[in-house]
Structure 1
Amino acid sequence: MSVSQFVAHRGEGKARVFALIRGSSDSLEVVTSLGADDAHVAEDLIRELNFFLVERDERSLNDFLGGLPNAVQIAVRNFLQKRCRATLGAMSVYGAVEPLKLLYVDSREEFRELLGAAYLIGLGFEASNEIDEDGDASWEVQLSTAEPFVRASEGERSWALPEGVSLSSTWTSRDYSGGNVIDQAVRVAESATSRGYRVCLHTFEKGDGESIDSSSTSVIVVDIFDAPIPPSRGDLDA
């Protein structure tokens, strides 16, 4: 679950600030309350919190919080520390990245067409190979609402590497200029899969700077691990 945005509700001269939590079911969580003397700044606080969620600009937020009662400052900072730690891949240039659809594909052509269509319309995707009990490889593809934004200082991926496996090699579209990057990414992924290696693909917007408003370039990454293809989830749950 993650915080996608902050909202405020005003009534009877007071205001309450909530965080919208995205998960298997959406929910609201109270962040803090503003008394009658401070309720008028609720919308300004919301703007600052949503700006922080995207830009992680602590200086701007601290400057604003400095003018609010201590209880409000403490409540906001405690909430941000516990619930809003920076998560790689959580934000796009359009706001929070939300899961869109989880698909399972066993046809190479369908896999290529799915990733190509997602890339063409700007959806994000994370894809990983898996193998069933008969030894047949397929792909799990998580589509998301947008490509995550990765700041210039944050490296070349929008998700943390899985634990317990070693990264063998990485192919990125930055190093390729020979034609359709999706076709080439799928060829790299399928080649490693045919040799029995665990593979993950994903895409993101790589910023030229630290601000989410900086210019960016769409990047496709294929990570190949020195590990066998994991069993399909269906087999694990059986």
Structure 2
Amino acid sequence: MFVMLPDGDLADRDGGSMSVSQFVAHRSAGKARVFALIRGSVDSLEVVTSLGADDAHVADDLVRELNFFLVERDELSLKVFLDRLPEAVQMAVRAFLRDRCQAKLGTMSIYGAVEPLKLLYIYSREDFREFLGAAYLIGLGVEASNEIDEDGGTGWAVQLLTAEPFVRASEGRRAWAPPGDVSLSSTWMSRNHTGGSVVDHAVHIAETATARGYWVHLHTFEQGDDERTDSSSSSEIVVDVFDAPIPPSGDDLDE
């Protein structure tokens, strides 16, 4: 059985922080302002910099470079572009990127920012397997943690994402950082699996650990080379088992 909850929010699960989704420009009276679209519990716009009449014509190019930077994190390319702009604009943009756009694990896909779609509770192994398999097949991201409901039953809190987070091959083999206050008992990665369905095996490991009373977190991501092209990437599943009891409902995805 699936129980649909209100839209989830990756920012909310990270303690109320918000993330930059994209940059946009607005023009008036021959001038231009560049804004960042901030995704959170309530979406908002935040000013990045202003361009005077002499520089307003580069607003579109600046927005294009900033949006490219969000995905690629190509600091050299951005520096080359910013060096052509007035010093005040350079300082404003660099200060904003430093304070608001630090690269964060699991927040970007090859298409741009990863956004939450729906948070669901799934109570049966068959439904969990079916849901994970469907999302994995079409490239939607999944984060799932087991939990104990108020009646003492176990199930899965599953956050569906707009895409699988992208992780460069040089950046490790996960898109979710385990919490530092619990011990990691074991980790299974699909890239090391040979033979049979990786989805079936992931669910088997997750459910076996759940039956033994351990907290489990599962997530999917896309991994490729440093060019972020889907032609050279693969979809991966990671199952983390912690040396900790299954948390009560509502606690796990807030970790």
Q: TM-score range by the shorter chain?
A: over 0.9
Amino acid of the structure 1 residue aligned with 2:77: S
Percent sequence identity is: 75
List alignment gaps of at least 5 residues for structure 1: none
Q: Which residue of 1 aligns with 2:118?
A: 101
1:86 matched residue in structure 2: 103
Corresponding residue pairs, total: 233
Per-residue displacement from partner, 1:20-60 (whole Å, max 9, x unpaired)?
Answer: 11112211111000000000111111111111111111111
Determine whether 1:63 maps to 2:80. yes
Residue 114 of structure 2 aligns to which amino acid in structure 1?
Answer: V
Spell out structure 1 runs of 4+ moving beyond 2 A: 132-135
SS in structure 1 of the partner of residue 64 of structure 2: helix
Q: Give the unaligned 5+ runs of structure 2.
A: 1-17
Secondary structure of the 2:223 match is strand
C-alpha RMSD of matched pairs (Å) = 1.2
Deviations 1:65-95 (A, max 9, x none): 1111111111101100111000111111111
Deviations 1:106-151 (A, max 9, x none): 1111111111111111110000001124432110000000000001
| 2:31 aligned with 1:14 | yes
- The answer as to whether partners of 2:146 and 2:155 remain within 8 angstroms in 1 is yes
- Point out which structure has higher relative CO (alpha carbons under 8 A, 6+ apart): 2
Distance in 1 between residues matched to 2:130 and 2:41, nearest whole Å:
28
**What CA distance in whole angstroms lies between the structure 1 residues aligned with 2:183 and 2:129?**
26
The 5 Å alignment of 1:104-123 reads 104-123=121-140
Distance in 2, matches of 1:110 and 1:179, equals 19
Partner of 2:220: 203
2:228 equivalent to 1:212: yes
* CA distance in 2: counterparts of 1:101 and 1:123, whole angstroms: 11
Q: Distance in 1 between matches of 2:30 and 2:150?
A: 63
1:147-166 matches, within 5 Å, as 147-166=164-183
CA distance in 2: counterparts of 1:212 and 1:188, whole angstroms? 30
